[in-house]
Amino acid sequence: MFHMGWFVGHGFSVQSWKGTWSGAGAREWMQPDLYVDMARSLERACFDYMIFEDGLMIPDAFGGNMDTYLKYNMECPRHDPTALIGILGQATSRIGLIPTMSTSFYPPFMAARMLVTLDHLTRGRVGGNLVTSSSHRAAQNFGHEQHFEHDLRYRMADEWMDLVGKLWGSWEPGAVVFDEETGTFADGSKVHTIDFAGEFFRCRGPLNAVPGPQGRPVICQAGGSPAGREFAARNADTVICVPLGVAAMKAYREDMSARLIAAGRKPADCKVLYLIRPVLAETDAEAQEKRQRIRAAQREQASIETQLAVMSYFSGLDFSKFDLDKPLPDLTGQVNGHQSSMTRYAKDSEDGKTLRELVSTHETTTSLELVGTPDTVAAMMGEAMEEVGGDGFLISNDVDRHSIAQIADGLAPALKRRGLIRESYTHEHFRDNLLEF
């Protein structure tokens, strides 16, 4: 069996508001209703978790202004997903719930307390997707002139995680006694300062929140660069990635296994999940026709403009200045942002594609081409995972009730019939279900 999750692109934001299946509530995206329905559907399908993307600024990299990002609601608006997690925890009982947090800008003490609080509110089902952020504009919202250099950000993240872990451990097991006879709530001998003094952070401690049901919330990481993978090998319980094709997926899993072993861990300690974007329909032929419509839409001017804006956001470079009818220029040494994403763009352009051709065909949110009926796609997923030796998949489809139903009530049952995903949850807590197999 393998694990399943859903990567909620855009996070707590506008979702598919122009789509055929967006529904009457699309303009009320800031309310939790769509996400509550989604979480309940995915829990019925026995998914391991939902992860919410996030961002901390409105980009202006493309064209030197915010207009394109605001016009197409790209990377904005972004409401705080941690608040949403508490609501989803009350509406569900087993599925894991992961908000994104930036180690570059979230104070470790506040992050540790927030995740512990959410672990209580969800009864042991919260995780944290730790990112280092990539944009100078985000850094400027937190008082910096520019963002920190890429590998330095991961050095900081390692120390951040070390500090957060010590805060979670500042209350020993059994510290809370609730002794009504003596009127003692907690045993003071079991709650300790941590007196942390690192290169980047200082903290006295202890945490002023009691440990959550999991003790240590699940840690997720999404970096594909060498520095990101090293951070994941030391700290993560699950990794999300998007290598293109079965061979690249297998190489990624083998690389992560080696890094985990070098870090003194077992490969099974960290579950690697691959982003996919299946195209589903009643018949294989209908699914192929649907895929062709998607490809045609990618060649439209609005789609090209949004893809260029995405590349500008990822790289910090203004792609409106590049000639669409020439190959992607060599950007070696110029990118301080999403290095793994830009490496994929560069690799995809090696065969001489023009920039226009590249943005019209490039896939950034799927590792595999999965097109067909739910049963056809389920078979393809099973074959791929058997070859890869990885741990599962993360759906990255648009979020609307139609696509949710296709996955939860179409694909998931097909996977269950093949014995590829769980039929029910064995445990109450997120980590226990994640590490079960």
pLDDT of residue 295: 87
Question: Which residues, in sequence order, are CB contacts of 404 under 8 Å at separation 6+?
Answer: 37, 38, 41, 42
Mean pLDDT of the chain: 93
Tens digits of residue pLDDT in 95-112? 999 999 999 999 999 999
Closest CA to 340 of 240, 211, 190: 240
Distance CA 392, CA 190 (A): 39
- The answer to whether residue 185 scores a pLDDT higher than 80 is yes
pLDDT tens for residues 11-29? 999 998 887 887 766 778 8
Integer Cα distance of 110 and 125 in angstroms: 19
Rounded to whole angstroms, what are the CA distances from 199 to 142, 343, 406? 19, 31, 49
Q: What is the pLDDT of residue 347?
A: 65
Partners of residue 3 on adjacent β-strands? 392
DSSP lists the bridge partners of residue 346 as none
Q: Which percentage of the chain shows pLDDT scores above 90?
A: 77
Cα 36 off chain centre by:
18
CB count within 10 Å of CB 182 equals: 7
Which residue, chain included where needed, has tokens 């087993």?
Answer: 94
User: Which one, of 371, 382, 370, 366, lies nearest residue 414 by Cα?
Assistant: 382
Residue 334 has pLDDT above 90, yes or no: no
Whole-model pTM: value is 0.92
At residue 139, the pLDDT reads 95
Written as one string, the DSSP assignment of 172-238 is: -TT-EEEETTTTEEE-GGGB----EE-SS-EE----SS---TTSS-EEEE---SHHHHHHHHHH-SE
Q: For residue 224, what pLDDT is reported? A: 84
Structure confidence at residue 25 (pLDDT): 64
Query: pLDDT tens digits, residue range 225-278?
Result: 899 999 999 999 999 999 999 999 999 999 999 999 999 999 999 999 999 999
Residues 361 and 95: their CA atoms lie apart, in Å, by 34
pLDDT at 200 over 70: yes
Helices marked H in 263-397: 284-298, 301-315, 339-348, 355-361, 374-388
Location of structure tokens 């500008």: 312
pLDDT at 338 (0 to 100): 59
